[in-house]
Amino acid sequence: MKRAKLLHNTSAGKEDHGADDLIEEIRSNGFECSYSSTKKKELKKLDEDFDFLVAAGGDGTVRKITRYLLKREQIEKPWPVALLPLGTANNIAKTLGLEGDTSHLVHGWHNAKLQPFDVGDVFHNKNEVGFFLESFGFGIFPRLMKEMNKETIDESASADEKITLALKVLYRIICSYKPKYCKVIADGKDFSGKFLMMEVMNSKSIGPNLLIAPNADPGDGEFELVFIPEEKREDLAAYVQHRMDGREMNFEFPVVQAKDISLAWNGTDVHMDDELIKLKKSNQVYIHPRSGLLEFMVPKT
């Protein structure tokens, strides 16, 4: 019997996704299960007496667990990660094609394949400033993050209601945001220009499920650079409006695939996944993929 270590964000999900319910679901599907919350002190106490980790939460939960895994020695036993998406956006789960309820996902672990998932390392002035799983970027999206921090959000609101609110705020930003110059060197080629938004994507979607890199493969050792220039403003606004109306719309964004990336942005709006960051002296960063750290258990279809 395989042994699972459940790492649970207790503030994520609905009432039927409490610790006892999740443990019972995992055990009833034929797995041994031990439990820890995702609090830092509990992550530090992890031993190696299990076969895989279970990340129960949203994208932020996966990021927190990844931060812990990054600190482990390479010679230590690697753990594949099974994901139970209980967050608001769940962009990582959507990128992996994880759909269905908790029971369906847990049952699928018996015949799951391992999907590699790259980590994006970010360097500034030769110093590593952090990592990303979903995206790193400038412009409209980090501005959205700043504006959402000012919003009063009802804790009882559903995930769909929270996403709709974010889309409304995003639409307002798109209509007024001034493009900024970004110097972009990707695998030795120059793609510099003025953009409303520039994202280095590892996942297919970001934020309120904005599907801006539908062909992204998070395990291929490359990123997808998505550029939104001034001439795409109306198209981007129309795409977001369709999303607010509950309709899908195909929107082709300029995309470049690359591995080694240098960026310098004339602005202050910068993010790394769900974290806003500030860079001193200059905004120039260097980005490289790191492979072999993360593997997710994805049920075979």
Q: How far apart are CA 1 and CA 74, in angstroms?
A: 26
pLDDT tens digits for 189-239?
999 999 999 999 999 999 999 999 999 999 999 999 999 999 999 999 999
DSSP 135-199: EEEEEHHHHHHHHHTTS---TT--HHHHHHHHHHHHHHHHHHPPPEEEEEEETTEE--EEEEEEE
pLDDT at 229: 95
* Per-residue confidence band for 293, with pLDDT thresholds at 50, 70 and 90: confident
Check: CB of residue 166 under 8 Å from CB of residue 144: yes
> In angstroms, rounded to a whole number, what is the distance separating the alpha carbons of residues 30 and 294?
24
Cα 215 to Cα 244: distance, rounded to the nearest angstrom: 23
32-70, pLDDT tens digit by residue?
A: 999 988 876 767 667 668 999 999 999 999 999 998 888
Q: What's the chain's Rg over C-alpha atoms?
A: 19
Q: Taking residues 248-253, what's their average pLDDT? A: 78
Give me the pLDDT at residue 73, please: 58
Amino acid at 248: E
- Position 132 pLDDT exceeds 60: yes
Residue 253 binned pLDDT confidence (cut-offs 50, 70, 90)? confident
pLDDT tops 70 at residue 13? no
User: How far is it, in rounded angstroms, from Cα 153 to Cα 148?
Assistant: 9
Range 125-130 average pLDDT: 87
CA distance 23 to 47: 18
Cα(10)–Cα(36) distance, integer angstroms: 10
Q: Look at residue 75 in the predicted model and tell me its pLDDT.
A: 47
Residue the block writes with tokens 């120059």: 190
Residues 77-91, mean pLDDT to the nearest whole number: 91
Q: Are 81 and 293 in contact (CB under 8 A)?
A: no
Residue ranges of domains in the chain, CATH in brackets: 3-119+294-299 (3.40.50.10330), 120-291 (2.60.200.40)
Q: Where are the beta strands (DSSP E) in 61-111?
A: 81-85
Average pLDDT over residues 122-137: 92
Mean pLDDT, all residues of the chain? 90
